[in-house]
Amino acid sequence: MKLSNPYLLIALLAVGIGLYALVPALFPFLLLGGCLLMHLGSRRNGWSYMTTLRLGKLLGIELRLDYSWFLIFLLLTWSLAGHYLMVNAGWSAGVRLVLALVTALLFFASVLAHEYGHSLVARRLGVGVERITLFIFGGMAHLKGEPKRARDEFLIAIAGPLVSLGLAAVFALLLRFARLQEVAGVEAVAFWLRTINLALALFNLIPGFPLDGGRVLRAVLWAATGNLERATRTASRVGQGVAFVFVALGLWQLLGGSWVNGVWTAFIGWFLYRAATSQLEQLSLQELLRGVSVREVMLLDCPHLDPQMPVATLVEQVMSSGRRCFPVLSEQRLVGLVTLHQIKALAREQWAQMSVAEIMIPAEALLTTTPDEAVSSALERMVSADVNQLPVLKAGQFVGMVTRESVLNYLRTRTELFPAGHQGVHG
């Protein structure tokens, strides 16, 4: 079963919601299965999450919707419909569903505003913002780099919780107005959103990386020690500790019979642990690659293609060489790149009819690097752009290719030659 197929996933989510509607007691097991499904869906940026939908741009920032969002949106809507039944048993099923949908949408709008708080402050301080993604655990602003100063890190981190606190205040005012006007539906929605935005702000201020509070902690440690790496490592360790607390709390709730809260709390802990661990792994990777340039890891024996080569001939080369990526050159100048993806997008009957030039990614649309760029920087750009390779250019001439695999092979060889505790050639 290919879990990366979004249509299959949506169908499975629909089945899950249907089962939940029939047997509400299945909620924790469906949530567990849904989260595992999302985890197995695909692997990108060093962390597992589903393929995303591009929604467009708002305020110059790209918005994406992870397919896992549909799971939490549907479950949240269903849960809110049940909640509003307890709030007012006289409301019809249609009224409760409309209120639940409005509340769920406003909640995710609040999450989006929280992430925009981070993003707009980051952009104001000179840190680029690649995109904002909504997913099963909320939202995430993807920055193009790290802040250069502890002060900037603090301001970017604290901006999100401040936005959530501001929204909590706005919904508190709306709640007061609705009570004065005796508008029960608006009162119920405003009460829930006031509470959840306040909870969102307070939760994110927990001092455990990668939560906003963990980033605030890192900024304070960075300012105190002057060492970003040490501050990041300490904040990540604290984040792992916070994650264990959440997992333990979830298990305690499960033992107490609170299945829904227990499963959800444990999964939050699991997510925080994975994120903090990923940060520590990234630090270790940076240490291993410190002082290493692209020149030392790039592939020099890259077979290249002529722009006029028929795709059918290219397929023969792919089958014989096993390579999945080919630079397209014209007089040693890079004019494009062909990957297995471009070939697979064509029907077989078109292979003999089309040339490499017609299917290649043009050079102007490619990210490139130079032999002197730090490997860590090149790898970060590959991860950020979700590509597996960068052509290497020197004075405009194609000289090689650096790939994620070539970096991994370098690391594997270096680790074998220089085990932990021994100084390597760049140590």
Cβ atoms of 364 and 290 within 8 Å: the answer is no
Question: What is the C-alpha separation between 176 and 174, in angstroms, rounded?
Answer: 5
What is the token pair recorded at 4?
């990366």
**CA proximity to 218, closest of 233, 206, 205:** 233
Q: Is 8 exposed, middle or buried (0-12, 13-18, 19+ CB in 10 A)?
A: middle
Q: What is the DSSP string of 350-402?
A: GTTT-BHHHHSEEGGGS--B-TTSBHHHHHHHHHHHT-SEEEEEETTEEEEEE
Instruction: Give the dihedral sign, CA 84/87/92/95.
Output: negative
- In b/e form, how buried is each residue of 68-78, taking b as 16+ CB within 10 angstroms? bbbbbbbbbbb
The alpha carbon of 351 is separated from its chain's Cα centroid by a whole number of angstroms, namely: 36
Give the angle 23-29-35 at the CA atoms, nearest 5°.
130
Cβ atoms of 176 and 186 within 8 Å: the answer is no
Q: At what angle do helices 27-41 and 68-87 cross, to 10 degrees?
A: 160
User: In 3-state terms, what secondary structure has residue 262?
Assistant: helix
What is the token pair recorded at 246?
């959440």
Question: What is the C-alpha separation between 205 and 34, in angstroms, rounded?
Answer: 27
| Catalytic residue selected from 115, 130, 349, 364 | 115
Q: What is the DSSP string of 67-113?
A: THHHHHHHHHHHHHHHHHHHH-TTS-HHHHHHHHHHHHHHHHHHHHH
**CA proximity to 31, closest of 68, 4, 3:** 68
Sort strands 138-143 and 389-394 into parallel, antiparallel or unpaired.
Answer: unpaired
Decide if 358 is catalytic. Answer: no
Question: What is the C-alpha separation between 286 and 97, in angstroms, rounded?
Answer: 49
Question: What is the C-alpha separation between 356 and 342, in angstroms, rounded?
Answer: 10
Catalytic residue list: 115
